[in-house]
Structure 1
């Protein structure tokens, strides 16, 4: 049984459709990333998953229980972070976590989760004195304190420095791979998501445009062979005569997207050398992850 089941989910605010007929399924132990630009509907979808707002249409099930008004059966096994991190500003980090521990009626103390989130140097500092990154760490500690089966995280690395991003990535990967924790997170950072997620859903204007396993990303990124010569016009004629389909490249030179050219660039070079227009530049270039994402959502031209 999927840990999260979303079927035909819709959320409208008068004339605005924030989430538009979204269906997705997340299996146990997966790290599923909802990827989208700001305003794509990621947070609205997460708030419906958590029962914070009521869908206009469709259904949501979490950990085998339908998410409805007043339903609480799944929340003891769920940790979450939605939008900006929140803490009691006059309480210390330890006191904030102790309050959560007591509300959840958990045994023991808070030392373990403080160490896990690298909060030990700040444990006795008031929350209002923390940086945004450390507030984010505190919010993640609150989400993790009860060792949940499911984590739902909205932009979990927001405000963290590069070292903190790596720490959180390692932490979440360890929870999924070693403990079977299911993670659903939202982000607008495809490069970071690609290092962590096992499955990615691209959300845009409230619609789920694409879903794919993270290890399939490379198969969908565009590639081309970029070459330069001292006479690109002559090189273009030679390549056309040999069955290639070159076209001018932005900034000069020629581009080839033919599969046989990408598979054997050495043959392209041989053809040009034998015709007396040897390449001065020959390079296989691949669309980067950000360009791929922007192309999928139709924002590659701004």
Structure 2
């Protein structure tokens, strides 16, 4: 069985590219191939315009793949000092401040909480201001405040330093907030790839409406050329004509003597779109616009 099958992607400088997929979709395998931890059976991987075999390229790469780790008997500051000596002359104090580790700087790694160990691993990954940053589930173990800090850090690195960021996650809300482009791997294949800004053009919309007489409303709408179906909470119209011009639907109902009691255009959120794409059951939690 192939873990990854014909996946092609490119991450540009200053871009935050997120691999969004279920567990076992192939996200970590792609990252391990980028980092040279796994050799692909076919195809090629280029890192910063160079082959993975060129040793010079790795001085410009930061990464955190799978579980965060550290030298357990060394303090946070000592762990970062080891990384500094190995990788670059970058300042350890800057990394400590950047990841909010000042109060833990002199504690041994083995006593850190899972979240602070994750912060330490992230600090080590960005210590040398890499040109490429590869992160597997970067907010794993962090509280909401920590997740916001990491998101701001990635945006800053991309914007101010032109860092290319490749990350993976199954947390859809985080991906939607931080990524500039999203790839959706599933069962080893890349199902879709799109700019986050283009998301509104890809999601489905529907018009939900409430009336005091749904049976009559369905007949009135059919006579006006609209196909309405019963949803779990209201009547639903899926066609673009209805979602683009809900006022036409309202006018038809008023003229037919069944004025609507509520009229809402509902748009899929990223989670619903993702689940539909991979063939899972999409929930009813979606974004609504319009008036009730």
Q: TM-score, normalised by structure 2?
A: 0.93
Counterpart selection for 1:79 from 62, 87, 105: 62
Alignment of 1:185-200 (within 5 A): 185-200=167-182
The aligned counterpart of 2:289 is none
Alignment of 1:234-249 (within 5 A): 234-249=216-231
Cα deviation per residue 1:70-109 (whole Å; 9 max; x = unaligned)?
Answer: x4221000000000100111111001101111122x3364
Q: List structure 1 segments (4+ residues) > 2 angstroms apart after TM superposition.
A: 106-109
Counterpart selection for 2:196 from 202, 214, 218: 214
The DSSP-based 3-state class of the residue aligned with 1:73 is: helix
The DSSP-based 3-state class of the residue aligned with 1:279 is: coil
| Alpha-carbon distance in structure 1 between the residues aligned to 2:282 and 2:123 | 40
Cα deviation per residue 1:126-145 (whole Å; 9 max; x = unaligned)?
Answer: 11111111111100100011
Gaps of 5+ in 2: 284-292
Give the count of matched residue pairs: 283
The aligned counterpart of 1:292 is 273
Deviation at 1:222, TM superposition (A): 1.1
The aligned counterpart of 1:3 is none
Q: TM-score, normalised by structure 1?
A: 0.90
Contact 1:87 1:96 in 2 (8 A): yes
Contact 2:91 2:127 in 1 (8 A): no
Contact 2:208 2:266 in 1 (8 A): yes
Cα deviation per residue 1:155-211 (whole Å; 9 max; x = unaligned)?
Answer: 111111111111111110011111111111111122211211111110000100001
1:95 aligned onto 2:97: no
Gaps of 5+ in 1: 1-15
